[in-house]
Structures are given as C-alpha cells and as structure tokens.
C-alpha cells in the first residue's frame, strides 16, 4: 500500500514537472479590483448643497496656511534617489495564485547585474524605457528575474520571453520595487 502511494506521488510529481508553463500577459499580474460600494447619486433637487471652500467670502475663516513646497534635493543626488512608484506607500497587490507556478511572460529588460553583455539579474517590465526614462510602473507590473547562467542581449530595447518559476515575493532594487520574483529557466530574444 505504501509502495503504491509513493509510486503514485512520484508519477504525479513527474507529470507536473513536464507540464507546459502558463503563458501570462501583464494584465494577469494585476488582481481584480474590489467593487466600490455604490454611492447614492446626488441631484440638484436632492436638498443637499455642495460644500464650498472657505475662501469665497471677504475674510477667510479659520487659520488655513498654505504649506511650503518640498525642499529641493542637493545637486546630483537625484540619480541615487529612489523614484516614487504608484502605490509605493502600501504592500503590492499581487495575484497569490501565481506563487510557485511555472510561467512564460514577455517584456523588456532593465539590467541590474551584468558582465559585458551577459545579464544575470534584471527587471522585466511591460514597456520600453520603464524605470529608466520614465517613472517606474506599479510594483505588480515589474518582475525581478534571476537567470543563473545569464544570457546575451544585443540591445535593451529588444523584447524577451522569460520562462521560469514565479514567486509573489517583493524585491527591492535601487531602481524600483518588484511585486514578483522569477527564477528563469530560459530567456529568449523575441522577434516581433
């Protein structure tokens, strides 16, 4: 009985290892939004009056003071400052069901660790120039990828397809925080 159970588990494990990876698109990395509670529509005739700002009269009411602008960073410090990501003040919203899944996803490379033209660690992003030329996308739209053997890339603007095991582990880098991590089995240049 025990031998039969062990054999069945071993076969189930070997079948799972040979399963094709789940092909993902970037929209599938964002969990669905929770429906907001329905608000009662306000009409002109509902009897409610709109809130007016205090400074419409001759004299302002209260002690409202305009806050000063934020201080400018010292010269040349902007290069080492972490750029603000949308929603970076709260944990990333990720799809928990992707944790541990073998997946394939396409995107663009933002190198983190490389030797000459061999890249071993990088951020996979949905569009060219993310995290470099423009503010980074939300963390659930960035995947931190570690390719053990590395791969050669001709240009940072070439699209790639990455296959490996996805984890819902946040990775903080100097450029941006990634909501997902991926241990790459293969990284292939795509021809579009």
The pLDDT, as a whole number, for residue 50 is 56
Domain assignment present for 118: yes
The reply to whether 191 falls in a domain is yes
The pTM of the full predicted model, rounded to 2 decimals, is 0.64
With respect to residue 39, please indicate whether it lies within any of the assigned structural domains.
no
pLDDT at position 45: 60
157: containing domain: 103-192
**What CATH number has the domain bearing residue 134?**
2.40.50.870
Flag whether 109 is in a domain.
Answer: yes
Coil, strand or helix at 182: strand
Dump the DSSP string for 64-84.
--PPPPPPPPPTTGGGTSPPP
Q: Is residue 8 part of a domain?
A: no
In a domain, 174, yes or no: yes
Distance separating alpha carbons of residues 130 and 138, to the nearest angstrom: 10
Look at the chain and report how many structural domains it folds into. Answer: 1
Q: Is residue 163 part of a domain?
A: yes
Q: Is residue 166 one of the residues assigned to a domain?
A: yes
Taking only the tens of pLDDT, the chain with its 192 residues reads 333 333 333 434 433 457 899 999 999 999 887 766 766 666 656 555 555 555 555 555 556 666 776 666 565 454 445 555 555 566 778 999 999 999 999 999 888 887 777 899 999 999 887 766 677 888 899 999 999 888 887 777 789 999 999 999 988 888 888 999 999 999 998 876
Would you say 126 and 190 are in contact if contact means Cβ atoms under 8 Å apart? no
Beta-carbon count within 10 A of 105 CB:
24
């Amino acid at each position: 009985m025990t031998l039969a159970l062990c054999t069945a588990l071993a076969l189930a494990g070997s079948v799972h290892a040979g399963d094709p990876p789940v092909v993902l698109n970037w929209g599938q990395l964002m969990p669905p939004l929770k429906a907001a509670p329905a608000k009662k529509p306000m009409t002109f005739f509902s009897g409610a009056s709109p809130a007016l700002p205090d400074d419409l009269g001759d004299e302002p009411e209260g002690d409202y003071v305009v806050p000063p602008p934020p201080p400018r960073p010292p010269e040349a410090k902007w290069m080492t400052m972490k750029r603000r990501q949308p929603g970076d003040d709260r944990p990333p919203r990720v799809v928990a069901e992707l944790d541990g899944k073998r997946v394939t996803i396409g995107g663009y490379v933002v190198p983190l660790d490389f030797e000459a033209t061999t890249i071993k660690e990088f951020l996979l992003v949905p569009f060219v120039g993310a995290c470099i030329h423009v503010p980074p996308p939300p963390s659930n739209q960035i995947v931190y990828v570690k390719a053990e053997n590395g791969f050669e890339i001709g240009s940072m603007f070439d699209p790639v397809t990455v296959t490996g095991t996805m984890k819902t582990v946040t990775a903080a880098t100097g450029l941006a925080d990634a909501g997902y991590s991926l241990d790459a089995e293969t990284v292939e240049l795509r021809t579009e």
